[in-house]
Structure 1
Amino acid sequence: MLRQDHLGEVVFVDLPEPGGQVSQGGGFGAVESVKATSDVLAPISGEIIEVNTKLSETPGLVNSSPYEDGWMIKIKPADPSELGKLLGPKEYTKFCEEEESH
């Protein structure tokens, strides 16, 4: 699992159009940085109801403001129970630190 702060400078973000469907854990786009191109995976299943068009002109928002201006898509959940399986910021940070130590 790749954390956004490991990408380096983000130079391009490829996002889908609103109205499409995503599946939990399935790819919906890509982020290109000076280091690599990485797939972006959906946290939950559902319909894409909004896409952050700011990222096409300012892809660096993914790193500079990941929790505010750098969001990618908004999803209308198909199965709200999937929300309970998501990690919060502290749990995710701990998970990533454990992964990095291996």
Structure 2
Amino acid sequence: MASIARSLRPVALRLAQSSKARVAASSASPIAIRAFSVSSAVQVKKFTKDHEWIELSPDNKTGTIGISQYAAHALGDVVYVELPSTPLEVAKGDTIGAVESVKSASDINSPITCTITSVNELLEETPSAINKGPEDDGAGGGWIAKVEVGENGVKDLEELMDAAQYKAFTEEA
């Protein structure tokens, strides 16, 4: 819903501005105009030292896993993606798939303890989607898997890096 709000915000502002202009132009009584806004819970993307990311829903019960922009760039053109089977219970650090590129091949590890509930089947047909949007969890993005998360997974999340820490980590490498 947040993406809808972001896409509608410019429309709401234009409507508010045009309504205010109409009110100012006429001597009619002022109309109360409220800009469309939504306060949503902030989703935080966390990263591993192996360059995977996970983004949990605000309730910490579901999430999305993928590889980072840094990893996708380092791999080069991805030519094959091995996806995990579903459903699959995994522990933090377990291998859930692999990515092969023209430069190298790398395992994809689970950043936290979770159950994989679905995978991005688009990657089987179009593995290059990882290069175009490795951190995009939308329909055409390069995400790897959708997961359900329990208490252990939420605890595992505390050990991961936030975006600023991950940026610093990749700049050191």
Same fold flag (TM > 0.5):
yes
Q: Does 1:54 align with 2:122?
A: yes
1:9 positional shift? 0.2
- Map of 1:39 onto structure 2: 107
Q: Does 1:14 align with 2:82?
A: yes
| Structure 2 residue identity aligned to 1:54 | L
Bigger Rg, which one:
2
Structure 1 vs Structure 2: percent identity of aligned residues? Answer: 38
- Map of 2:157 onto structure 1: 83
Give structure 2 stretches of 5+ with no counterpart.
Answer: 1-49, 52-70
Find the residue that maps to 2:98 and give its secondary structure.
strand
Find the residue that maps to 1:85 and give its secondary structure.
coil
| Structure 1 residue identity aligned to 2:98 | A
1-side partners of 2:159 and 2:149: how far apart? 13
1:92 positional shift? 1.3
More RCO (CA 8 Å, sep 6+)? 1
**TM-score for the superposition, normalised by structure 2:** 0.54
- Deviation >4 Å, runs of 4+: none
Aligned residues: 99
**TM-score for the superposition, normalised by structure 1:** 0.87
1-side partners of 2:164 and 2:129: how far apart? 21
1:34 positional shift? 0.2
1:38 positional shift? 0.6
- Map of 1:94 onto structure 2: 168
1:60 positional shift? 1.0
Give structure 1 stretches of 5+ with no counterpart.
Answer: none
